Amino acid sequence: MSSTVIYTHPVCLEHDTGEYHPECADRIRAINHILDHEEFMYLPRETAPAATLEQILRAHPQSHYDRVMAAVPDEGCVELDGDTMLSPKSGEAALRSVGAACAAVDEVATGRARNVFVVTRPPGHHAERERAMGFCFFSNAAIAALHARDAHGFKRVAVVDFDVHHGNGTQQVLWDEPGTFYASSHQADAFPYTGLPEETGAPGGAVVVNVPLPAGTGSEAFRAAYTDVILPGLRDFAPDFLIISAGFDAHAADPMAHLRLQVGDFSWLTRQLVDVARAQCGRRIVSLLEGGYDTRALAASVAAHIRGLMEG
């Protein structure tokens, strides 16, 4: 068994969001540069397959899939909204991102790897059942969770999301889904303006835990949110499979929001989640790249995250 496997695909570099867009191919290039360092260069690399329609339809209706794919242009860029851009390779990149998430679940569920980090774009946690938004087209983490439950029979699948923005799409998709858990730490009063503490899931559906943090929050309060609220909730849920929505835009250097985390905070949290996985779900973790828009901070934070996974 490999401890940590990397899933990616070169088409993710060809998803062109236009000039000056923060969710750009340089994010993947910065991570790839880190992965070329000696400590990571021997991690197995897998090429992401394209998602199947069956996988996508666990989270989205056919009409949403058709609408996204029909909007892919033959040339240039088009806007689905002011933030969410499509270019000729964006449709394939989106399918590879979903496919990577599901293939990573397969890899871990069958024991071929202890955990997987998925280095793809576009991200997914803002994509709602019938709406692409916030740089996202399909709900990658929610699809991975439903794939773990429906294709592999896991009974209690958890998603923990530490992106600085609330994963409204993941929450909405999982809201009514039994056997699922969604927890998010995120900046309060920031896009997409969801994720209030009183959003706790539907009866018989997901267990939802939201901890909004004021702008300017640093390490101490962030760690307390996990130590006091999210990690106890996760342990009480007792997951048998753990998905991480790994966004690194809560770093103090990131231009997209105003939390004040450092690389050490991502390292600490990764190890906390690895400890839960070791104790409760046979070490099974799939981690999916979400945000992170300062490329130097992103690369350093991803390196810390992967080191934590490698210890899992």
- By annotation, the residues acting in catalysis are 126
| pLDDT of amino acid 312 | 87
Number of structural domains the chain divides into: 1
pLDDT tens digits along 217-226: 999 999 999 9
Mean pLDDT of the chain: 98
Chain centre to alpha carbon of residue 170: 9
Do you know the residue count of the chain? Answer: 312
* Percent residues over pLDDT 70 in the chain: 100
What are 265-275's pLDDT values in tens digits? 999 999 999 99
Q: From CA 99, how far away is CA 238, in angstroms rounded? A: 26
- Return d(Cα 52, Cα 145) in angstroms, integer: 15
pLDDT of 138 reads: 99
Which pLDDT value is given to residue 165? 98
List the CATH number of the domain containing 86: 3.40.800.20
pLDDT at residue 1 in the model:
74
Average pLDDT on 148-162 reads: 98
CB-based contact 21:291 (threshold 8 Å): no
Domain span at 235: 2-310
How is the beta sheet containing 180-187 ordered, strand by strand? 45-47, 2-8, 113-119, 285-289, 241-246, 157-161, 180-187, 207-213
pLDDT, tens digit (0-9, with 9 covering 90-100), for 47-79: 999 999 999 999 999 999 999 999 999 999 999
Contact 58, 147 (CB under 8 A): yes
pLDDT band for 243, please (50, 70, 90 cuts): very high
**Beta-carbon neighbour count of residue 285 at 10 Å?**
29
pLDDT of residue 2: 75
